Structure 1
Amino acid sequence: MDTFPGFNPSRVTGLPSLRPEIASLPAYVPGTRAEEDDTAALASNESHFNPLPSVLHSVFSAGSTINRYPDAASSSLRDKLAEQLGTTSKEVTVGPGSLGVLNQIITAFCRPGDEVIFPWRSFEAYPLVVHLAGASSIPVPLRPDEGHDLESMLAAITDKTRVIIICTPNNPTGVPVPHAELEDFLGRVRSDILVVVDEAYVEYATAVDTPDTLALYQRHPNVCLLRTFSKAYGLAGLRIGYAVAAAEISEGLRKAALPFSVSAVAQQAAFASLDARSEMRARVQAVVSERERILPALRAAGFNIPDSQGNFLWLRCTDEKREELLSAFGAAGILVRGYARDGIRITLADAKANDRVLTILTKQESSQIRN
């Protein structure tokens, strides 16, 4: 093809510059994908169950409308969620997974120079979305028992603090924040700070002191609840989650959303999932039963594992032990999630897959596992 006279492509050396926040942003590292049929995919906290038949039927039905734009407001789903949660639809925001909604939250509330406090280690996307907004991350180390250090989080509050994230049960440790501790914490946070309670794994929580976050939300207008259909409902591939917040806050979150970011297929699948809650609970109970079976067995083998309330277990270990275990799991065709300087997270699946995990771990010397 002819070029403009005098134009020499080889002389073009400069390119448009990325924003510094983007150029320095580390990429989110997803869990390793299974490539073989006999691989146990336990790295991403996905549901190991196939989609529910009623939900799959709704997906097929919604597929006939993909030539049209979806309802940008997710109106029917918001009405359904509000009915089940005891709120109004104006208090509900639907987005592409709970992470997508969190991105809307940070976009709506944070400017460059603002600060966001969150526990660490926790969900590794937290610092990414904060950095993307140009705000500053204030990670607060977990307590030795892997729980949130709420006192230190309170001490980290400054006049620049705009958002605090609480993750309960915490990912990747599985440790929840007890109701009384969370209630006391909320009573001591300034009312102009948004407290986001990320409950991606709330359906798996069975502890008696699991926080009643809807009740806390009713008493604290600066609380925002964040939930997802990706885990217990098994819709990870459709990307749909939601937030519950005061109507004025929710309106702002919807304004911060990318238009048509939640497909009609995802909306219909989520709607059908809410009608299939009893089936979802049965599946959750199967995972909880496996959690209650595996935890004592690993502790008997010498591993110090916290009482997870999620669909996963956490092994705190040195980098040397982490690499040793990752190698052993990989050789056995088991995919787990490793975290540099911290440990390994293992998703719970069916009994056969979980027994494979037990076989690997019970062969290991547990002396290098640190508290």
Structure 2
Amino acid sequence: MSEEPVLPRIRPEIAALPAYRQGRQASPDAFKLSSNENPFDPLPGVVEAIRSATGINRYPDATASRLRERLAARYGVSADDVHVGAGSVSLLAQLLLATAGPGDEVVYAWRSFEAYPSLVAVAGATSVQVPLTADARHDLPAMAAAVTDRTRLVIVCSPNNPTGPTVSHDEFAAFVDAVPRDVLIVLDEAYAEFVTDPTSVEGDRVRVLIARPNIVVLRTFSKAYGLAGLRVGYAIGHTRVLDAARSTAIPLAVTAAGEEAALASLDAESELLHRVKVIAARRDGLVERLRATGWDVPDAQGNFVWLPAGDRALEVAAVFEQAGLVVRPFAGDGVRISVGEEESIDRVVEVAAAVAP
């Protein structure tokens, strides 16, 4: 007789899912370039704001109302048109649960953010993955053509993680016109602050210029603002759409420390965005040097670069790791390298040259 315990029944599609795999941690003498984190330490004022959130024996404000009001004033919308969550990925999960279920479809480009397939599966819906173009960009006409009567949500990731290019404002406007108005379009802009291409879509202007209630824009404090460890993201959209997302949210997910840090980050925005400019300039220089080694690096508009290594992705990543550079491989596709400390750049270029195609 088997001694294996009898386990609860698990949904087959969930049992088949791999767990989300974050970028590998690095040893003290290595550079961690695998998670698109901000390499700068938090500003002293932000650290002090976190320390001020001492009432941890009390629950936080469930709606993060002060932060919502601050963001609403910033973007010229009502506080009800802003929803704050534990990172933008949690907000996407809520929107998926609110709109899609068994028998429904969710359209997105691929390869894109690694969590998309899992989030769709957890909602019970079906992924429709539309291949990127040859230059690693969203194929928006093909994505619009993939929308059917079963489509409930479309995700547009700009800049695209992990490949780097953005969607242009004109491309996005045409795409919105091609998608039925009862299909939700989520513009995932986790890396928007790093964008320097003036033709790129800007989510904070989208709803004003297009005025469509079926568009929700996602932003985060994790990347440009350096609050990845505190998990604060936000959505801008129509109140009724965001109310549906709020109904699916895990209560009290945004901590008081997270809200305080986000507010302090907005107060220190000019200094933080100066750091963003430094990272963007570092990125552009890295792209130029990597291309000089023979790599066909796509346009990079986030805080990372993409090496299209194809079937060599795991092999290439292993060589980087041996050199003390922890990067993020995507088997069969390529290697994503976060733009980290200035001291890491020469080593990245040296290894990339050694494994160039």
Q: Is TM (by shorter chain) over 0.5?
A: yes
Q: Could you give the per-residue CA deviations for residues 200-236 of structure 1, whole angstroms, max 9, x where no partner exists? A: 0000001010113233213221100011111000011
1:340 and 2:337 are equivalent in the alignment: no
Partner AA of 1:322 in structure 2:
A
Paired residue for 1:57, among 28, 32, 48?
A: 48
Q: Gaps spanning 5+ residues in structure 2: where?
A: none
Q: How far apart in 2 are the matches of 1:205 and 1:148?
A: 16
1:313 and 2:305 are equivalent in the alignment: yes
Residue 206 of structure 1 aligns with which residue? 196
Q: How far apart in 2 are the matches of 1:56 and 1:85?
A: 26
Partner AA of 2:331 in structure 1:
A
Q: Do the aligned partners of 2:314 and 2:330 also contact (CA within 8 Å) in 1?
A: no
Q: How far 1:111 moved relative to its partner? A: 1.5
Q: Do the aligned partners of 1:42 and 1:347 also contact (CA within 8 Å) in 2?
A: yes
> Secondary structure, in 3 states, of the residue corresponding to 2:23?
coil
Residue 103 of structure 2 aligns with which residue? 113
Partner AA of 2:73 in structure 1:
E
Superposed, 1:114-153 pairs within 5 Å as: 114-153=104-143
Q: Do the aligned partners of 1:164 and 1:194 also contact (CA within 8 Å) in 2?
A: yes
Q: How far apart in 2 are the matches of 1:13 and 1:272?
A: 50
Q: How far 1:44 moved relative to its partner? A: 0.3
Q: Could you give the per-residue CA deviations for residues 333-368 of structure 1, whole angstroms, max 9, x where no partner exists? A: 11000001100000001221111101111233x33x
Q: Do the aligned partners of 1:290 and 1:350 also contact (CA within 8 Å) in 2?
A: no
Task: Please tell me the root mean square deviation across aligned C-alpha atoms, in Å.
Answer: 1.4
Q: Do the aligned partners of 1:98 and 1:226 also contact (CA within 8 Å) in 2?
A: yes
Q: How far 1:15 moved relative to its partner? A: 2.3
**Count, aligned residues:** 355
Q: Do the aligned partners of 1:111 and 1:135 also contact (CA within 8 Å) in 2?
A: yes
1:323 and 2:300 are equivalent in the alignment: no
Q: Could you give the per-residue CA deviations for residues 45-81 of structure 1, whole angstroms, max 9, x where no partner exists? A: 000110111111000011x111100000111110011
Paired residue for 1:239, among 224, 227, 231?
A: 231
Instruction: Compare 323-332 and 81-90 and name the one that shifted more.
Output: 323-332
Q: Do the aligned partners of 2:313 and 2:329 also contact (CA within 8 Å) in 1?
A: yes
Q: Do the aligned partners of 1:322 and 1:343 also contact (CA within 8 Å) in 2?
A: yes
Q: How far apart in 1 are the matches of 2:249 and 2:102?
A: 19
Larger radius of gyration: 1
> Secondary structure, in 3 states, of the residue corresponding to 1:357?
helix
Q: How far 1:274 moved relative to its partner? A: 1.0
Paired residue for 1:38, among 21, 24, 29?
A: 29
Going from structure 1 to structure 2, the CA distance change for 1:14 and 1:80 (only over 3 Å counts) comes to: same
Residue 4 of structure 1 aligns with which residue? none
Q: How far apart in 2 are the matches of 1:125 and 1:323?
A: 19
Q: How far apart in 2 are the matches of 1:11 and 1:220?
A: 58
Superposed, 1:128-277 pairs within 5 Å as: 128-218=118-208, 219-277=211-269
> Secondary structure, in 3 states, of the residue corresponding to 1:164?
strand
Q: How far 1:13 moved relative to its partner? A: 4.4
Q: Do the aligned partners of 1:173 and 1:314 also contact (CA within 8 Å) in 2?
A: yes
Instruction: Compare 340-349 and 15-24 and name the one that shifted more.
Output: 15-24
Q: Do the aligned partners of 2:85 and 2:254 also contact (CA within 8 Å) in 1?
A: yes
Q: How far apart in 2 are the matches of 1:131 and 1:196?
A: 17
Q: How far apart in 2 are the matches of 1:54 and 1:160?
A: 48
Q: Do the aligned partners of 1:25 and 1:132 also contact (CA within 8 Å) in 2?
A: no
> Secondary structure, in 3 states, of the residue corresponding to 1:140?
strand
Q: How far 1:317 moved relative to its partner? A: 1.4
Going from structure 1 to structure 2, the CA distance change for 1:298 and 1:257 (only over 3 Å counts) comes to: same
Q: Could you give the per-residue CA deviations for residues 238-277 of structure 1, whole angstroms, max 9, x where no partner exists? A: 1110101101111111111111111111111111111111
Residue 3 of structure 1 aligns with which residue? none
TM-score normalised per structure 1: 0.93
Q: How far apart in 2 are the matches of 1:306 and 1:315?
A: 8
Q: Gaps spanning 5+ residues in structure 1: where?
A: 1-8
Q: How far apart in 2 are the matches of 1:203 and 1:13?
A: 50
